[in-house]
């Protein structure tokens, strides 16, 4: 697969409703791409695939810094921001096994995407789990 020169994308140029019908590719296409390491370039693809499993071996959420969103240790000190955090946030970080007819791979669902799919913030889901356990559900 050739190296792909990513197009610089202007956000909100195309509405999401139209964008999902553009750039439709297979999983194999995505897994075979070789990306330039250039942080300011973003390309969106649409794939039709099945979320087959969640891999929670390394957890599905983490305690994060409110400022930089990085994972923080239990002492609640963010090394990057050099701050002790009083109210750190729980964020999703879910590894999803994804399959289509061409390939299998793993996608990492970061907080904002996982929140949209699940319909609850990480904090809300953890609270719901806790309430369900104590109410015997
Ligand atoms: Zn931080």
Q: Which CATH number belongs to the domain containing residue 62 in this structure?
A: 2.40.50.140
CA of 68 to the centre of ligand 1 (A): 4
- Measured CA to CA, the distance from residue 108 to residue 115 in angstroms comes to 13
Averaged pLDDT, 47-75: 92
Residues 118 and 61 in one domain: yes
Instruction: Output the pTM of the full model.
Output: 0.70
CA of 77 to the centre of ligand 1 (A): 8
CA of 82 to the centre of ligand 1 (A): 7
Residues 34 and 86 in one domain: no
* Structural domain containing residue 38: 1-48
Q: Distances from the Cα of 25 to the Cαs of 80, 86, 91, 98, in angstroms?
A: 37, 44, 29, 14
pLDDT bin (cut points 50, 70, 90) of residue 86 is: very high
How much is the mean pLDDT over the chain?
85
CA of 119 to the centre of ligand 1 (A): 26
CA of 101 to the centre of ligand 1 (A): 41
Instruction: Pick the closest to residue 77 from 59, 69, 67, 65 (CA basis).
Output: 65
- Measured CA to CA, the distance from residue 115 to residue 120 in angstroms comes to 6
Residue 18 pLDDT: 80
Please tell me the total count of domains within the chain. 2
Q: Supply 83's token pair.
A: 């701050």
CA of 65 to the centre of ligand 1 (A): 5
CA of 118 to the centre of ligand 1 (A): 25
Residues 94 and 40 in one domain: no
CA of 117 to the centre of ligand 1 (A): 26
pLDDT digits 0-9 by tens, 108-125? 999 999 999 899 999 999
Residue 30, phi then psi, degrees to nearest 5:
-70, -45
């Amino acid at each position: 697969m050739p190296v792909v020169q990513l197009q610089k994308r202007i956000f909100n140029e195309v509405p999401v409703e139209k964008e999902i019908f553009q750039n439709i590719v297979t999983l194999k296409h995505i897994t075979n791409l070789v990306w330039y390491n250039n942080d300011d370039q973003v390309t969106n693809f649409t794939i039709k695939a099945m979320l087959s499993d969640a891999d929670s071996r390394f957890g599905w959420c983490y305690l994060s810094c409110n400022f930089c969103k990085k994972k923080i240790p239990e002492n609640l000190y963010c090394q990057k921001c050099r701050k002790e955090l009083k109210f750190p946030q729980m964020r999703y970080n879910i590894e999803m096994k994804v399959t289509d007819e061409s390939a299998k791979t793993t996608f990492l669902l970061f907080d904002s995407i996982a929140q949209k799919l699940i319909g609850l913030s990480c904090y809300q889901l953890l609270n719901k789990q806790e309430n369900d356990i104590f109410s015997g559900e």
